[in-house]
Every structure is written in structure tokens, then in C-alpha cells.
Amino acid sequence: MLGPATVTFRAADASARLGLVVDVEMTRQGLVRARAAVRNDGDDDYRVDELLVAFPVPGRAREVLDFAGRWTKERVPQRQVLQVGTHWREGRHGRTGADAAFVLHLGTPRFGFAQGELWAVHTAWSGNHVHYAERTAYGDQVVGGGELLLPAEGVLPPGAVYGGPWVYANHGIGLDAVARRFHRWLRARPGYPSGPRPVTLNVWEAVYFD
């Protein structure tokens, strides 16, 4: 068992000679997280170009909010209507950074900190990664993410397995509710500090370490 409420799906493609495992878990804090792994059961190498996790979202959620930025201007919110197609954000630095999407939200029109229904997704991976929201011409919608695999990174020899990172999904009324659920999960992690912690003031630009 992976957690308080977990289900594992197993599938196989006899023609392609591939196996697939998808774990889906509901945490005690109300987050849903999922990850996928593919296994090469064939006799030749198999190249995995992409293995992403997707969560369904109702068609009434039409506004996307995520973040961008740069040094000294981090976490800049950007908001737009989700049209037919894909809102796609990549991190290609080999690490997270100021321009990362951070958390991708898809919500009902004019959602705010305390109002509007929201679905949010976060890819728990510090390397190259993807966040995305997609709407089809029929109104079906998903949000998701995963590792961004560069050419030749996903080559699987016979018998090898590639496992993607956990992707976390969140639902709430208002941005504050979504943030609180993420915060509760982080504070419940093993080893999270429970006592007072020292405070560091970063003042080097003001007094240059004097």
C-alpha cells in the first residue's frame, strides 16, 4: 500500500509488447496524486518520448492561471482563457527556476482567492518537466504533467522500466483553499520541522554583508 487510499492499474499491449502500471493515491490532506511506469517486454530497445499523467476537468473550468518570471521578478501570474487546443508549459533547465509554471490552475470564470471552483496540478519533479491544460473541440478537458524527456533519454532496453514522477491534483473553492491543501500535505511530510526555526534576513543588496 502506498497510502490511505490507493489503487493500482495494470495493463499490457501484446502487440507492442509493453506493460503499464498507473498508481493513483488520495492523500489524507485531500490531494490526488498519480504516476505511471512503462516496461519494455520486447526483444528490442523501445523509445519512450513522453509519459504524462492527465486528470479530467469539467468543461465549465475555462480560465488558466499559472506563473512565469525571471530573476528579481519571480512568480509572475499569467491568466488566460483556455481555448480549443493545449496550454503547454515546459521547464528545460534541468532544474526548476523562476520561470517555472509552479502550479497550473484551471477554474471557472473570474475565480479569485475565495471564490470560484478550481482544479490545480503540480508536477513533483525538479528536473525537466511539463505542465499542461487541454480542451478538445467536443469540450473535454484535462490538466496534467510529467517529466520532459529529451531525445534518447527514454530508451528502454528489453526488460527495463521507465517510471514518471508523481503528479499532484488539487480541487477547491478559491485559490486560498487550493493553497491550504498543498500546505497541509507539505507540513505532514516526515521530517518537517515541528519547532521554532531560525530566521535569516537576506540583506546583501542593501548593506553588502556589512
Task: Provide the number of structural domains found in the chain.
Answer: 1
Buried-state track 93-109, b at ≥16 Cβ within 10 A, e below 16: eeebebbbbbbbbbbbe
Asked if 103 contacts 67 with a C-beta cutoff of 8 angstroms, the reply is yes
CATH number, residue 171: 2.70.98.60
- Condensed to tens digits (0 to 9), the pLDDT of residues 16-74 reads 999 999 999 999 999 999 999 999 999 999 999 999 999 999 999 999 999 999 988 99
Query: Can you give the pTM of this predicted structure?
Result: 0.92
pLDDT given at position 1: 44
How many residues comprise the chain?
Answer: 210
**Spans in the chain with pLDDT lower than 70:** 1-3, 209-210
Buried-state track 164-197, b at ≥16 Cβ within 10 A, e below 16: bbbbbbbbbebbebbeebbeebeeeeeeeeeeee
State whether residue 181 is helix, strand or coil.
helix
pLDDT given at position 210: 67
pLDDT given at position 209: 65
Structural domain boundaries enclosing 49: 5-207
Find all residues with CB under 8 Å of 204, minimum gap 6, and list them. none
